[in-house]
Amino acid sequence: MLTKIIFISITITLFTLGSLNAMDMQRVNELANLIKSGKVTSSVKKENLQKSEPIDAKALEGIEDKKIDTGILSENSVSEESLGLRKTSLYSEEGTAADKTQYIASAPGSSKKIQRAFENAPPMIPHSVKTLLPITKNNNACLSCHMPDVAPGVKATPIPPSHFTNFRPMTELGENGEILKEGLAISNTSDIKIVARKLNDLYPGRFNCSQCHVPQSTQDAIVKNNFAPDFRSEGTQNGSNLIDTINEGVQ
């Protein structure tokens, strides 16, 4: 990797100086072989390059005092240390630790709803989940407040109709071992039509709420997010109309 960086650095520098053309590539490749052999290191000066004949001396003009260092191509370039947001060494994990994440501590029922990131995006959890997780096959504490018949009374977001719908096509094996979708042999998955089967109970594929819904960290973002969502329908900032738009762009 280091050799590759040095080689690229030298090539770009020579192009910048206007001294490299297609015919010079052979000489650059010969210089690359010198780098691989260890005769030229990360700091290359004119006297080093002069030893790598048959590189034309004209290609060396103007670089007497210029170092070709890994990660540094010119006075206007930036170092690799300045490219990221990390303030500790890039070359050691010693003493490097991420900030401890602090989640919203408000109790359910006392928190303020968080606007969705975009239309029909899974909403963030605006309250503490400390005593609500993990969700198991026998226990889902989220349902005690978010089932549609309970949610209005406790001012919670009701689980939308899309979570009480099975969108998966009925799949089975035919007599000859072929895969049948909705009773038809399908060779191209793009031919499968979305079939919505409304259920009386929560669809099992939606049972694990924390697959999509997560609590929000209270830390300030290192990089400001300037994205502004565009909600086309009234109320979708804090609600879902996915059941009505599930086929948008498909049919």
CA dist., res. 31 & res. 52, Å (int): 6
pLDDT surpassing 70 at residue 120 = yes
Residue 86, φ and ψ in degrees, nearest 5 = -70, 135
% of the chain exceeding 70 in pLDDT: 66
CB 103 within 8 A of CB 215: yes
Lowest mean pLDDT among 120-124, 148-152, 195-199: 195-199
User: What is the layout of strands, in order, in the sheet containing 179-181?
Assistant: 171-173, 179-181, 184-185
Q: Which residues of 224-244 are buried (b: 16+ CB within 10 A; e: fewer)?
A: eeeeeeeeeeeebeebbbbbe
pLDDT in tens, 239-250: 899 988 887 876
d(CA 129, CA 135): 11
Q: Residue 248 has what pLDDT?
A: 81
Of 87, 30, 79, 88, nearest in space to 59 by CA:
30
Give CA–CA dist 241/114, Å, rounded. Answer: 17
Instruction: Give the chain's mean pLDDT.
Output: 76
Structure-model confidence comparison of residues 215 and 195, the more confident one: 215
Tell me the β-bridge partners of 69.
Answer: 72
Is 56:80 a contact under the CB 8 Å cutoff?
A: no
Q: Which residue has the tokens 């070709």?
A: 68
**In the predicted structure, residue 133 carries a pLDDT above the cut 50:** yes
Predicted confidence at residue 60, as pLDDT, reads: 47
Query: Is residue 237 within 8 Å of 116, Cβ to Cβ?
Result: yes
Amino acid of residue 32: A
* pLDDT exceeds 90 at position 199: yes
Convert the pLDDT of each residue in 169-198 to its tens digit: 888 888 888 888 878 787 766 666 667 889
- Report which of 1, 167, 8, 161 is spatially closest to residue 72, judged by C-alpha positions: 8
Backbone angles phi, psi at 125, to 5 degrees: -85, 115
Residue 212 confidence (pLDDT) above 80: yes
Inform me whether the pLDDT recorded for 33 exceeds 80.
no
Q: Which two tokens stand for residue 17?
A: 């100086």
pTM, rounded to two decimals: 0.59
Using omega within 30 degrees of 0 as the cis cutoff, is the peptide bond preceding 108 cis? no
Confidence at residue 150, expressed as pLDDT on a 0 to 100 scale: 94
Which is higher by pLDDT, 111 or 32?
111
